[in-house]
């Protein structure tokens, strides 16, 4: 039995959407930093004896991929911004990843602010050279968040498979958005002034 998909109406950005989007992306970035901060160093790039079976990326490779994709989004969508240096998955340390993530998050925030703030400088969101460009809007933010959430799930699963799971406080902490927003400098989070 097939279900009917709802028809989508034309997207509408509420007046404070750009501000809320930046707060949401900041919370997303805090999640990434929180995971790297609490990850057992042995899980970052495990020795071959403790690797899970199959051809899987290391956690170091997953995080460098996430950063490098952010750099690509900025390079393709907002080339007028300073594109952060890419990270090398074979020798990147957790400290380098945290610094790189902070920089790529700042550039992505700049890009989102321009794209969603109505300034008109960014006309389209380019996810990749092969992908059809999208007009800037909520879909841009959703795509960016979905990409990173997918890879965070991989990190949690891989750490667990390595026998080095992240502490429960981290797993549950990712769902404490009020705390994440406060840590990002946004005491009330999106909609607090409604």
Tens digit of each residue's pLDDT (9 = 90 or more) over 121-162: 898 999 988 889 999 889 999 999 999 999 999 999 999 999
Mean pLDDT, range 103-120, rounded to an integer: 90
What residues contact residue 133 under an 8 Å CB cut-off, 6+ apart?
Answer: 124, 125, 126
pLDDT at residue 53 greater than cutoff 70:
no
Query: How sure is the predictor about 171, in pLDDT bands with cuts at 50, 70 and 90?
Result: confident
**For 61-73, what is each residue's pLDDT tens digit?**
999 999 999 999 9
Longest dimension (CA), the chain: 54
CB 163 within 8 A of CB 142: no
pLDDT of residue 192: 62
Q: What are phi and psi of 125, to 5 degrees?
A: -105, 120
pLDDT at residue 167 greater than cutoff 60:
yes
pLDDT at residue 9 greater than cutoff 90:
no
Q: What is the DSSP string of the chain?
A: -PPPPPPPPPP---TTHHHHHHHHHHHHHHHHHHHHHHS-HHHHS--GGGPPSSS---HHHHHHHHHHHHHHHHHHH-TTSPPPPPPPTTT--HHHHHHHHHHHHHHHHHHHHHHHTT-SS---B-S-TTSPPB-SSHHHHHHHHHHHHHHHHHHHHHHHHTT-PPPHHHHHHTT-HHHHHHHTT-SS-TTTT-
Question: Mean pLDDT in the chain?
Answer: 88
Domains in the chain, start-ordered, CATH in brackets? Answer: 17-41+56-182 (1.20.120.450)
Instruction: State CA 150 to chain mean position distance.
Output: 9
CB 100 within 8 A of CB 108: no
Q: Measure the CA–CA gap between 134 and 139, rounded to whole angstroms.
A: 8
pLDDT of residue 49: 58
Confidence (pTM): 0.87
pLDDT at residue 1 greater than cutoff 70:
no
Mean pLDDT, range 10-24, rounded to an integer: 75
Mean pLDDT, range 90-109, rounded to an integer: 97
More confident residue, 24 or 5: 24
pLDDT at residue 190 greater than cutoff 90:
no
Q: Measure the CA–CA gap between 31 and 105, rounded to whole angstroms.
A: 12
């Amino acid at each position: 039995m097939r279900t009917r998909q709802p028809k989508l109406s034309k997207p509408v950005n509420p007046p404070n959407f750009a501000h809320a989007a930046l707060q949401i992306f900041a919370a997303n970035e805090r999640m990434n930093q929180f995971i790297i901060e609490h990850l057992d160093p042995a899980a970052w790039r495990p020795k071959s004896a403790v690797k899970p079976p199959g051809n899987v990326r290391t956690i170091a490779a997953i995080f460098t991929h996430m950063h490098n994709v952010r750099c690509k989004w900025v390079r393709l969508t907002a080339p007028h911004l300073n594109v952060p240096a890419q990270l090398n998955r074979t020798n990147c340390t957790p400290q380098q990843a945290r610094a790189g993530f902070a920089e790529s998050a700042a550039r992505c925030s700049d890009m989102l602010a321009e794209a969603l703030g109505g300034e008109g400088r960014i006309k389209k969101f380019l996810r990749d050279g092969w992908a059809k460009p999208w007009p800037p809007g909520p879909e841009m933010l959703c795509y960016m968040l979905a990409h990173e959430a997918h890879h965070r799930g991989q990190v949690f699963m891989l750490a667990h498979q390595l026998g080095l799971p992240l502490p429960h406080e981290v797993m549950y902490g990712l769902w404490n958005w009020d705390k994440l927003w406060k840590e990002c400098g946004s005491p009330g989070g999106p909609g607090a002034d409604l």
